[in-house]
Amino acid sequence: MATLDSKVPKGPIKDKWTDYKNHIDLVNPANKRNIDIIIVGTGLAGGSAAATLAELGYNVKAFCFQDSPRRAHSIAAQGGINAAKNYQGDGDSTYRLFYDTVKGGDYRSRESNVHRLAEVSTNIIDQCVAQGVPFARDYGGLLDNRSFGGVLVSRTFYAKGQTGQQLLLGAYSAMNRQIGRGKIKMYSRHEMLDVVIVDGKARGIIARNLVTGEIERHSAHAVVLGTGGYGNAFYLSTYAMGSNVTAAWKAHKRGAFFANPCYTQIHPTCIPVSGDHQSKLTLMSESLRNDGRIWVPKNMDDVFAIREGKLKPTQIAEENRDYYLERRYPAFGNLVPRDVASRAAKERCDAGYGVNKTGEAVYLDFAAAIERYGKEQAHVKGLDENDKAVIDKLGKEIVKAKYGNLFQMYEKIVDQNPYETPMMIYPAVHYTMGGIWVDYNLMTTVPGLYAIGEANFSDHGANRLGASALMQGLADGYFVLPYTIGDYLAADIRTGSISTETKEFDEAEKEVKTNIDKLVNNNGTHSVDYFHKKLGKIMWNKCGMARNEKDLKSAITEIAELRAEFWKDVKVPGSADEYNEELAKAGRVADFLELGELFAKDALQREESAGGHFREEYQTPEGEAMRRKEFQYVSAWEYKGEPKDAVLHKEELVYENIEVKERSYK
Amino acid sequence: MKLTLKIWRQKSAESKGKIVDYKLDDVSPDMSFLEMLDVLNQDLINKNEEPVAFDHDCREGICGMCSMFINGRSHGPDRAITVCQLHMRSFSDGDTIYIEPWRAKAFPVIKDLIVDRSAFDRIQQAGGFISVNTSGNTQDANAIPISKHAADEAMDAATCIGCGACVASCKNSSAMLFVGAKVSQYALLPQGQVEAADRVKNMVAQMDLEGFGNCTNTGACEVECPKGISLENIARMNRELIKANL
Amino acid sequence: MSGFFKSSIGRKIAMALSAFFLMFFLLQHFAINILSVFSPDLFNEVSHFMGTNPLVQFALQPVLIFGVVFHFVMGFVLEIKNRNARQISYAKNNGSANSTWMSRNMIWSGVAILAFIILHFIDFWFPEINTKFIKGDWSGLHEGVEGYRYFEELQHKFHSHIRTIAYVIAFVFLMLHLLHGFTSAFQSMGATAGRKKTLQNIGKAYSIIIPLGFIFIALYHHLKYVLG
């Protein structure tokens, strides 16, 4: 079995990145003008990489399927971005951020990459402020921080509840500057459908112009994928409708190993599913758990009464409520990490205590916070602390100031007033820690093919901490890739421009066209969504928050069958040479149907519980995740024709700077 | 709920479009507007007709992709939301709903309800940035204190999602709320001062070139903006332009 | 700077500047006319001063004419440009949901005011020009009129029912035009930031009081004549 070379530099962890930068090959500015780089995806990772590489002098071609690079789904991140600035003086440091991230990832991430991430985190904040990102500030005019789940310091920078948006617009503005200078050529409404490999190196892509349907060839000296995660394999998720695995999956099929596909983050606080028509789930920021208390009724009678509408949650007495997170995890309470909170909600709902019609919802209650804030305010203002009406009014004002926009969003969607009655929430697929395997240089197993941001696997292990996704995307794009890619491209200064008139491009284009023709001419009986929803059901029920051998095995069979049925029976209206959303969707779902199977296969081989991956067979008597030493590796899958034939490669994970301990939040 | 939909159908940019009527019988008030259109599209596909093309992506009101003029208003009857956040409970059984694309010369129709908003990108490329290298070797983020008030106001301007509702609802198809918001964000922050004059001149010049109309201060944009961007941003842009020319 | 006035915002600002001038003119016109209600003599004195002072006649009057013409021409030019910015109109457009009737129909209130100005010129301005510049009579006197002629002429015009009604209607349109135009001009100049409410209130007061005042003057003279 081939071994994976992670190319981690030697030396003490705190010096690795600096030493590495001091010793890599550089490309001189005149030569950079002769080198082309393709970047697919323009979210935080792709957008920041495009801007930086163009600024360094490379010719960048950037691709996104949206109508503008500004709409990539990074824009939806609400909470914030972590950085070890220690502005609050509460003991934060690069090491502590590194430690928290590795621990939060349940000791399944690569130490050296995470440490580098923590090192460059502070640069990100400097950079973004210089770009005009309006982070929240305190009254002294300095940057404000908030606290997030799973850590004990305040290191999260934020811009209201729209941090992702502001950071993305920052990267977008940096891109715009380069587009204006002619250094980036932007291809929006384009979808990458294949990577072209010439002499073993990634040398271009095949893309479809989504407006005209034209299949285009684009060549470059290196190809970078910043194409995000694959959570839409579950159909219902907090991802954007267009988020897909296609680019990553095509890269996988061309030789890039796919790592840890089963590591999926299920976010605990989302708005529950309301019916079959549901197309998407909406996240409510994790920050709500700072003040909201999560509970279900203790007695089954109350559960039934609530579901039938005979009882209101506010009528249930305190002693008849089960604040299960506070009961099970007294130290962290409602602020346990996401994987733990999600599983606990599922556990209660599986036991029958779910509080909505489908039995898949728990309460997130702000009554206690309203009372506490109300009393505080009454005291501050010298009002009667025992006057219920006064307390209620003052408390609601504070809650409104903190979470007003979220409460409004909830009310719009659910049509219930969360100031008066507890919110209903349920976990939903939110992020994928797994992704394309990359080495320390962020290069995949295909030379010249890079993966950055959520598309790669490296930094979050088996579970991602809140406010770390934005950090990783920008770190990769602004500060890591621009160095590491230069080291590779230094060998390419004499190559000259890459021709698209070669047999490799011919073949790749032909394959893409054949695939599209097959879909358009299939004339089956069921729409793309029909298959996507079916896949989603299998994924959620059998590869979701809790997994077991039997379910995973049946998932593998069912997904393979569904895939066969899809290719036989899918119906794609319209033609290939026009704007055709159904066709684009069909291609994406076809790839999800392959990825889904690999996902289940990966989950099946990982006979332990770690982070977002919970195997029912491997839990402690108290129901907590049980990690196993023999699985302290990255599973990297090599494509061999069918997902079932994929070959497993293992990258052993070594922890020299952190002691691997039981991850406890009790 | 039973609904009659009157939807603008247009095969491509070149072809002529028209309003086509559709009936939907089983609409749940809990559906979002886009989910209602999903249902319609599934029906159409099952009947071997072409589904209605519309832009959408995040479906949580932040990407700015969805863009429909519903019953005579950008993003439909509710305030401060995008179409994806509009729910069918805002309508009544038996309603007739007009669904049209954004209308502006600078936003040509691509297909059905999809328009080309790349004019917005080009305006941003003309100057919607601060020319700072992305090397990370800038000064410490806390080196320049910025008053909370200015930071908050800049944030309010920066919250624009670039959906184009302002243009669509303006009787003059003016893009000034969009451009004003971007100009304001940088004008309010110390980082933006160095290039302030060139920025506003270049962005306004590009805006004019794209064929947007002129602002006559009707205030429709502010009312229809899903993010509640204030009209004051236009005033600030005007002031910046005067300043830049003095 | 020439580029500035070719830009969309530059033209807006030019509209605003001419509007400020016209609003100031309107205010002084009103201030003089209201005198006709309280003191015909004072009205005559001031009118004569305005009608014969060289600074007013040869400097301010041409500026005023230019201002009026500019405001109208630019208004029409912008309206045409703005209409061109949307080539296919909406099948259903619910403008009243997000803006006032006044703001959406400045062109029509403007056209109504233009019609009025033509009438007004025929009534007063052309005869004045005729008397002063063609006949060369700068005395301000008229046969059979005691003292200056201005008050007499004013009163005379409001004998007609139709003209009085036309005046009243025109001033209603002026009110509608001002109700949007006043704050709009400040907004165009970028002067609303932070004092929007105050300006709106001043604007409302101005836009209602001035046209109502003119209507009052017209009705006062008309009723005085009718009731004898």
Predicted ipTM of the assembly: 0.98
- CB-neighbour burial class of residue A382 (10 A; exposed 0-12, middle 13-18, buried 19+): exposed
- Residue C1, pLDDT above cutoff 60: no
What does the alpha-carbon distance between residue A178 and residue C34 come to, in Å, rounded to a whole number? 63
Check if the beta carbon of residue B115 is closer than 8 Å to that of residue B106: no
Residues B28 and B84 in one domain: yes
**Chain A: nearest CA to B139, how far in angstroms?**
6
Residues B240 and B121 in one domain: yes
Q: What is the mean pLDDT of residues A71-86?
A: 95
Residue of A nearest to B130 (CA): A131
Cβ of B34 within 8 Å of Cβ of A279? The answer is yes
| CATH code assigned at B197 | 1.10.1060.10
Q: What is the mean pLDDT of residues A75-103?
A: 95
Please tell me if residue A523 touches chain B, with a CB cutoff of 8 Å: no
Question: What is the CATH architecture of A267-429?
Answer: Alpha-Beta Complex (3.90)
Residues B84 and B154 in one domain: no
**Chain C: nearest CA to B191, how far in angstroms?**
21
Confidence of residue A336 (pLDDT cuts 50, 70, 90): confident
Set of chain A residues whose Cβ sits within 8 Å of the Cβ of B186: 132
What pLDDT does A246 receive? 98
**Chain B: nearest CA to A559, how far in angstroms?**
23
Set of chain B residues whose Cβ sits within 8 Å of the Cβ of C179: none
Domain finish residue from B73, B95, B110: B110
Q: Which of B38, B78, B146 sits opposite A141 (nearest CB)?
A: B146
DSSP class of residue B122?
A: H
What pLDDT does B194 receive? 95
C-alpha angle C82-C84-C89 in degrees, rounded to nearest 5: 100
Beta bridge partners of A648: A637
Top-confidence residue, C228 or A36: A36
Residues B101 and B14 in one domain: yes
Please tell me if residue A332 touches chain B, with a CB cutoff of 8 Å: no
What does the alpha-carbon distance between residue A162 and residue A155 come to, in Å, rounded to a whole number? 17
Cβ of A159 within 8 Å of Cβ of B128? The answer is no
- CB-neighbour burial class of residue A330 (10 A; exposed 0-12, middle 13-18, buried 19+): exposed
Closest residue by Cα to residue A544 from A480, A608, A615, A605: A615
Distances (CA, A) of A275 to A106, A425, B32: 34, 15, 11
Closest residue by Cα to residue B70 from B44, B36, B116: B36
Confidence of residue A5 (pLDDT cuts 50, 70, 90): very high
Check if the beta carbon of residue A469 is closer than 8 Å to that of residue A45: no
Q: Which residue has the tokens 């009110």?
A: C175
Beta bridge partners of A209: A190
What does the alpha-carbon distance between residue A115 and residue B186 come to, in Å, rounded to a whole number? 34
Q: Which of residues 282-321 of A touch B (CB under 8 A)?
A: 282-283
Domain finish residue from B58, B75, B110: B110
Distances (CA, A) of A621 to A632, C169, C220: 22, 87, 96
What does the alpha-carbon distance between residue C1 and residue A465 come to, in Å, rounded to a whole number? 54
Residues B236 and B136 in one domain: yes
> What are A58's two structure tokens?
């490379």
What does the alpha-carbon distance between residue A344 and residue A285 come to, in Å, rounded to a whole number? 18
What pLDDT does C117 receive? 95
What does the alpha-carbon distance between residue A340 and residue A666 come to, in Å, rounded to a whole number? 11
Cβ of B215 within 8 Å of Cβ of C85? The answer is no
Q: Do chains A and C touch (3 or more CB pairs under 8 A)?
A: no
Q: Which of residues 178-207 of C touch B (CB under 8 A)?
A: 180, 183-184, 187-194, 196
What pLDDT does A403 receive? 86
What's the mean pLDDT when you consider all of chain A? 95
Set of chain A residues whose Cβ sits within 8 Å of the Cβ of B56: 241
**Chain B: nearest CA to A368, how far in angstroms?**
28
Tens-place pLDDT, residues A410-465: 998 999 999 999 999 999 999 999 999 999 999 999 999 999 999 999 899 999 99
| Backbone phi, psi, residue A30, to 5° | -65, -35
C-alpha angle A353-A358-A363 in degrees, rounded to nearest 5: 50
Contacting subunits of A (3+ beta carbon pairs below 8 A): B
State percent of chain B over pLDDT 90.
Answer: 97
What pLDDT does C205 receive? 97
Tens-place pLDDT, residues A559-598: 999 999 999 999 999 999 999 999 999 999 999 999 999 9
Tens-place pLDDT, residues B188-206: 999 999 999 999 999 999 9
Q: Which of residues 2-41 of B touch C (CB under 8 A)?
A: 6, 8, 19
Closest residue by Cα to residue A658 from A110, A147, A4, A82: A110
Tens-place pLDDT, residues A6-61: 999 999 999 999 999 999 999 999 999 999 999 999 999 999 999 999 999 999 99
What does the alpha-carbon distance between residue A147 and residue A154 come to, in Å, rounded to a whole number? 4
What does the alpha-carbon distance between residue A109 and residue B26 come to, in Å, rounded to a whole number? 49
- Residue A273, pLDDT above cutoff 70: yes
Structural domain range at position B63: 3-110
What does the alpha-carbon distance between residue B195 and residue B130 come to, in Å, rounded to a whole number? 7
The SS3 assignment for C208 reads helix
Q: Which of A126, A180, A412 sits opposite B139 (nearest CB)?
A: A126
Domain finish residue from B62, B91, B110: B110
- Residue B135, pLDDT above cutoff 80: no
Please tell me if residue A326 touches chain B, with a CB cutoff of 8 Å: no
Residues B207 and B137 in one domain: yes
Contacting subunits of C (3+ beta carbon pairs below 8 A): B
Of A109-123, A389-403, A550-564, C201-215, the range with the lowest mean pLDDT is: A389-403
Q: How many CB atoms lie within 10 A of CB B78?
A: 17
What does the alpha-carbon distance between residue A243 and residue B58 come to, in Å, rounded to a whole number? 9
Q: Which residue has the tokens 């749940």?
A: B28
> What do you get for the CA distance between the two ends of chain A, in Å?
41
Residues B71 and B144 in one domain: no
Q: Which of B28, B59, B129 sits opposite A176 (nearest CB)?
A: B129
Cβ of C86 within 8 Å of Cβ of B173? The answer is yes
Check if the beta carbon of residue C58 is closer than 8 Å to that of residue B71: no
> What are A263's two structure tokens?
């590591």
Count H helices and E strands in chain C, helices first. Answer: 11, 0
Please tell me if residue C11 touches chain B, with a CB cutoff of 8 Å: yes
Tally the residues of chain C: 228
The SS3 assignment for A627 reads coil
Tens-place pLDDT, residues B80-114: 999 999 999 999 999 999 999 999 999 999 999 99
State percent of chain A over pLDDT 70.
Answer: 100
DSSP-derived pairing of the beta strands A59-63 and A36-40:
parallel
Q: What is the mean pLDDT of residues A230-257?
A: 98
- Helix residue spans in A543-662 (DSSP H): 549-569, 581-605
Beta bridge partners of A39: A62, A224
Q: Which residues of C164-184 are buried (b: 16+ CB within 10 A; e: fewer)?
A: bebbbebbebbbbbbbbbbbb
Residues B233 and B127 in one domain: yes
Distances (CA, A) of B237 to A106, A286, B150, B187: 50, 36, 16, 9
What pLDDT does A290 receive? 84
Q: What is the mean pLDDT of residues A157-173?
A: 95
Domain count, chain B: 2
What pLDDT does A2 receive? 54
Residues B78 and B151 in one domain: no
**Chain A: nearest CA to B242, how far in angstroms?**
23
Please tell me if residue A71 touches chain B, with a CB cutoff of 8 Å: yes
What pLDDT does A1 receive? 43
